[in-house]
Structure 1
Amino acid sequence: MVDFTITSAWYDSAALAAVNEQLTQERVVQLSSFFIEPLGQLPPAKHLKREERPGFAVRTTGPALLTELWHSLLLADWLAQATAAHWELRSCRHECYGPGDYSLLHDSEVGEQRLLLMYDLTEQPQALNGGHNIFSFADGMQTTCNRETGALVLALLAAGDLECMRYVSKLSSGTVRLEHAQFRQSQPITQ
């Protein structure tokens, strides 16, 4: 069984307030060393399917490895504290981007506000070889997140906001591996 204990630093009231403020202001936050212990070797992803839609995405996807986490009360409680809202899981999946893979800027078919969480399982991030997350917001603001093993990216997206995975260089010797979960707001927290 995998230990999903969140690092105590991310439970500190000042840290939770900072996460909330950064999400409100910049709409994207990357949290290093999110779990108290590295997740270690997870079982290999199963039932992976190659998705090749040139001009949209070239990648491999499959069922999420961290399904237990995405459905956990622990994460739901932490998200409520960090965002001042309650969230409901809409979808989750495992994504792999090998040399030459990418996804272009796209929004989901959902027009409502949503919270995207991505947990980085990349074993050896290679900054020079691409594979960065790029967010482009309807108001023109853009944010890029580099690969960082063990980091959790939270992105607060609204209608018209876009996200993608930058092209992974054919020279890359590794694969970008992510857990990708999308949540919709079920209700704000009332004071």
Structure 2
Amino acid sequence: MSKFLEPVLQHSEPKFTRKEKIGYYHRQQGSAILADFWKSSEFITFLQASTGLNPKYRDSNHMCYSPADYSLLHTDESESKRLVVAYDFTKNWKQEWGGYDIYTSPDKDPLICNRDSGSLMIVELDEGDLSCTRYVSRASTSEVRLDHIVY
């Protein structure tokens, strides 16, 4: 859903910690910018109406992928069936810089989501489904910024 929260709610920048797990990801991570909103009964009711599911909030983070950062296709360590929500804060992005999100299941074609500031992505994943944010080109003059929420 493009331009889900227009205008974007006022927020403060999270304090980032560099995270690396060889073979999985290299990025910065902090508290979700809109953490209270993602936990709110209003948003959970919206998810119920949109998906027909009964989501329960599990976790949220804000992720920042700078030039040369990445995550590889992987299962979210031991995650069972889940609803993944991503809200894109990325600004001034060029498609040739990569940094897009991929969600894939054994029996389905991959879902590829390009950067679109203000967009909300909602993806239902089963145990064993894979996801990643692809490598961000060293030529990039911007960063991939997104809140990543798991229900």
TM-score by length of 1: 0.75
Structure 1 counterpart of 2:136: 168
Q: Which runs of 5+ in 1 are unaligned?
A: 1-30, 184-191
Determine if the alignment matches structure 1 residue 142 to structure 2 residue 129. Answer: no
- The one-letter amino acid paired with 1:71 is K
Structure 2 counterpart of 1:32: 2
Structure 2 counterpart of 1:95: 63
Taking a change above 3 Å as real, the CA distance of residues 147 and 114 of structure 1, as seen in their structure-2 partners, is: same
Counterpart of 1:68 in 2: which secondary structure? Answer: helix
The alpha-carbon deviation at position 74 of structure 1 amounts to 1.0
The alpha-carbon deviation at position 155 of structure 1 amounts to 0.6
Answer with 1 or 2: which has the greater Rg: 1
Counterpart among 27, 30, 33 of residue 62 in structure 1: 30
Q: In the aligned structure 2, how far is the partner of 1:171 from the partner of 1:40? A: 30
Kindly report the root-mean-square deviation, in angstroms, between the aligned alpha carbons of the 2 structures. 1.3
Question: What are the within-5 Å matches in structure 2 for residues 3-22 of structure 1?
Answer: none
Determine if the alignment matches structure 1 residue 42 to structure 2 residue 11. Answer: yes
Higher helix share: 1
Write out per-residue CA displacement over residues 150-169 of structure 1, whole angstroms, 9 at most, x where no aligned residue: 00001100011000001000
> Does the CA contact (< 8 Å) of 2:11 and 2:34 recur in 1?
no
The alpha-carbon deviation at position 54 of structure 1 amounts to 3.0
The alpha-carbon deviation at position 41 of structure 1 amounts to 5.3
Paired residue total? 151
Write out per-residue CA displacement over residues 58-96 of structure 1, whole angstroms, 9 at most, x where no aligned residue: 100011111111111110111111111211111100000
Q: Which runs of 5+ in 2 are unaligned?
A: none
Q: In the aligned structure 1, how far is the partner of 2:127 from the partner of 2:37? A: 26
The alpha-carbon deviation at position 107 of structure 1 amounts to 0.8
Q: In the aligned structure 2, how far is the partner of 1:43 from the partner of 1:111? A: 30
Taking a change above 3 Å as real, the CA distance of residues 126 and 42 of structure 1, as seen in their structure-2 partners, is: farther
Counterpart of 1:119 in 2: which secondary structure? Answer: strand
Counterpart of 2:26 in 1: which secondary structure? Answer: strand
- The one-letter amino acid paired with 2:72 is L
